[in-house]
Each structure stands twice: as structure tokens, then as C-alpha cells.
């Protein structure tokens, strides 16, 4: 996937489409972005599957990770504190080295300019927050944070004392067991973030779907909801996806270059006139 980026040339046709996207964005009442793994490839985070994928390289995580956590939270915590060689360590090292790319920075700037109202991401890599975006809804959690299984409060790791002799740690607020915020296989999406996503999606009339084919629930429902309510879908993806035929505009290129150019056009268009 990354091999495409250095050869990418933004031609006049694509630039015209990006200008058209900028006018759809500035003309919309409310804009929401939905981002996925493709957006972080340019930050050095390979996709999970396929050649060069994290799981191809390090092995796949257990498909019943959440059930394993519930069955033995102390053991799950021991593995979290000292990941063995394999997918957990590979993922941790890759995420630790990743930095936001031009796409993350452009999305932050769009929010600052009043051109983006919410950012829903399937990524756990923390890169939208590191870029400075504020209205970030992480449906699969954030690898840096911890989350209470009772009251769903998120914590910075320093806020929850972890004593290896007394695992698992418990919530300072309600006493329930604390786990990593990343949503594991078999784990329901935390209801609070899901509610906020639906609220953002229901009030938006323009959605930018970037770096994801959005085929997995619940993300799959968001673009469909926008379509059903007569809104506009803009896709930014180097590859055609299952969503492409449904979109008003599909911008075929790497996220960094396309978002960078979109931001350029949005700045040229001026500030959004809010009604
Ligand atoms: Zn709690």
C-alpha cells in the first residue's frame, strides 16, 4: 500500500474533484468524517491483514480476546504489562513509533476552521488526538487509555495505580475492573461513544469517508444513514471500495495528498457561512 504514495501525482482531474468536494463541504450544514486504517498507513502503521500486514507478520490476536479477558482479567493484565513476542508486542512497538501524517493534520485544521463538526474513527492509534483534533469519537477505543468496564470512564494510565501483585486494577470511581480502552474481538462497542456517533451522524448532511470501506458494523451504518437522509458522501481512498458506487464523489488518492489539497481549497473558499 505504501508503495503507491511516492509515485502519486495529483492531476488536474483529481484536483477539480477535490475543489468540488471543498464546495460540498463548505456548503453543508454539518460535516462528519469517518476514518479507518487506510489513513494511518502513511504514518507507518501497516494494515492488519495482507502482505506486510501486522497480523501477517506477527500472528493474529485471539478472536475471543474479550471473553478471555472476562474469564481471567489478572492474566490478561499480566500479558498487557509484559507482552510476549507476537502480535501484541508488534502492535505496541508500531503504534509507539507512529506520528500523525498530513491527513490527520488537515482534519484538525478543518475542525479549527469550522469545516468539520465531528470525527469518528475506527483507529485506535491516537493519531487524530496527537494531531490536535478535539471532537474525536474513537469507536474502537484508544490504545493509550484505560477504560472502566462498569462506568466506561477513560483514564490516562497514570491515573490508575497498577500493582502487579494485585491484578486487575479497579476503577477509582466505581470499583469495577479496569481494562485497556481498545475494543477487543468479541467486545461490544462502548455505548457512550456509540450514542455520540449516532448523534453526530443524525445531524450531519455531509460525510467524508476516508481510508476505510466502512463495511463493518457499526461504522457501516453511518454512511448509509447519511445517504438515506439525503446527505452527501465523499470518499477519500487510494482504492475503490464497496462504498464507492454509493458516493457522490470518490477521490482516488492517498489521504495525505488529498486532504492537504482539500484543505487548500477550503482555505481558498473562505470560512463556512453558518445558518
Ligand atoms: Zn468505573
Does the pLDDT of residue 244 top 80, yes or no?
yes
Domain annotation covers residue 263: yes
Domain annotation covers residue 29: yes
CATH number at residue 248: 3.40.50.1220
pLDDT band at 2 (very low <50, low <70, confident <90, very high): very low
Domain annotation covers residue 121: yes
Distance 38 CA to ligand 1 centre (A): 33
Distance 178 CA to ligand 1 centre (A): 8
Round to whole Å and give the CA distance between 150 and 147: 9
Domain annotation covers residue 51: no
- In total, how many domains does the chain have? 1
pLDDT band at 212 (very low <50, low <70, confident <90, very high): very high
Tens-digit pLDDT profile for residues 152-198: 999 999 999 999 999 999 999 999 999 999 999 999 999 999 999 99
Does the pLDDT of residue 9 top 90, yes or no?
no
pLDDT at position 91? 85
Q: Is 140 a catalytic residue?
A: yes
pLDDT band at 275 (very low <50, low <70, confident <90, very high): very low
Tens-digit pLDDT profile for residues 106-163: 999 999 999 999 999 999 999 999 999 999 999 999 999 999 999 999 999 999 999 9
pLDDT at position 259? 97
Does the pLDDT of residue 273 top 70, yes or no?
no
Round to whole Å and give the CA distance between 238 and 14: 12
Domain that holds residue 267: 1-45+100-142+189-275
Distance 2 CA to ligand 1 centre (A): 41
Tens-digit pLDDT profile for residues 20-41: 999 999 999 999 999 999 999 9
Domain annotation covers residue 113: yes
Round to whole Å and give the CA distance between 89 and 93: 6
pLDDT band at 271 (very low <50, low <70, confident <90, very high): low
Distance 136 CA to ligand 1 centre (A): 21
Distance 186 CA to ligand 1 centre (A): 21
- Residue 107, H or E segment: helix 102-112
Domain annotation covers residue 67: no
pLDDT at position 215? 86
pLDDT at position 50? 75
pLDDT at position 153? 96
Name the catalytic one among 7, 104, 128, 140.
Answer: 140
Domain annotation covers residue 160: no
Task: Supply the Cα-derived Rg of the chain in whole angstroms.
Answer: 19
Burial of 273 from C-beta contacts in 10 A (0-12 / 13-18 / 19+): exposed
pLDDT at position 8? 76
pLDDT at position 58? 79
pLDDT at position 1? 44
Domain annotation covers residue 217: yes
Tens-digit pLDDT profile for residues 54-91: 778 878 888 899 999 999 999 999 988 988 778 788 88
Distance 177 CA to ligand 1 centre (A): 8
Distance 160 CA to ligand 1 centre (A): 11
Residues with CB under 5 A from ligand 1 (ion): 148, 150-151, 171, 173-174, 176
Distance 127 CA to ligand 1 centre (A): 26
Quick one: average pLDDT of 237-263? Answer: 94
C-beta of residue 130 within 8 angstroms of C-beta of residue 136: no
Amino acid at each position: 500500500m505504501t508503495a503507491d504514495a511516492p509515485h502519486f501525482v495529483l492531476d488536474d482531474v483529481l484536483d477539480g474533484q477535490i475543489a468540488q468536494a471543498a464546495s460540498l463541504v463548505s456548503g453543508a450544514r454539518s460535516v462528519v468524517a469517518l476514518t479507518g486504517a487506510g489513513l494511518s498507513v502513511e504514518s507507518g502503521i501497516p494494515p492488519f491483514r495482507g502482505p506486510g500486514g501486522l497480523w501477517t507478520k506477527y500472528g493474529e490476536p485471539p478472536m475471543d480476546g474479550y471473553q478471555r479477558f472476562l474469564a481471567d482479567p489478572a492474566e490478561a493484565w499480566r500479558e498487557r504489562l509484559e507482552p510476549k513476542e507476537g502480535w501484541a508486542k508488534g502492535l505496541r512497538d508500531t503504534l509507539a513509533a507512529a506520528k500523525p501524517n498530513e491527513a490527520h493534520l488537515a482534519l484538525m485544521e478543518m475542525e479549527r476552521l469550522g469545516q468539520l463538526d465531528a470525527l469518528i474513527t475506527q483507529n485506535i492509534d491516537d493519531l487524530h488526538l496527537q494531531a490536535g483534533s478535539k471532537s474525536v469519537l474513537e469507536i474502537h477505543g484508544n490504545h493509550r487509555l484505560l477504560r472502566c468496564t462498569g462506568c466506561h470512564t477513560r483514564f490516562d494510565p497514570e491515573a490508575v495505580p497498577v500493582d502487579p501483585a494485585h491484578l486487575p486494577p479497579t476503577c477509582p470511581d466505581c470499583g469495577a475492573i479496569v481494562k485497556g480502552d481498545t475494543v477487543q474481538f468479541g467486545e461490544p462497542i462502548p455505548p457512550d461513544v456509540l450514542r455520540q456517533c449516532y448523534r453526530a451522524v443524525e445531524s450531519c448532511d455531509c460525510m467524508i469517508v476516508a481510508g476505510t470501506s466502512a463495511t463493518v458494523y457499526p461504522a457501516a451504518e453511518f454512511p448509509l444513514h447519511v445517504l438515506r437522509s439525503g446527505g452527501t458522501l465523499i470518499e477519500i481512498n487510494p482504492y475503490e471500495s464497496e462504498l464507492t458506487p454509493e458516493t457522490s464523489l470518490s477521490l482516488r488518492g492517498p489521504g495525505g495528498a488529498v486532504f492537504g489539497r482539500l484543505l487548500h481549497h477550503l482555505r481558498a473558499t473562505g470560512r463556512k457561512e453558518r445558518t
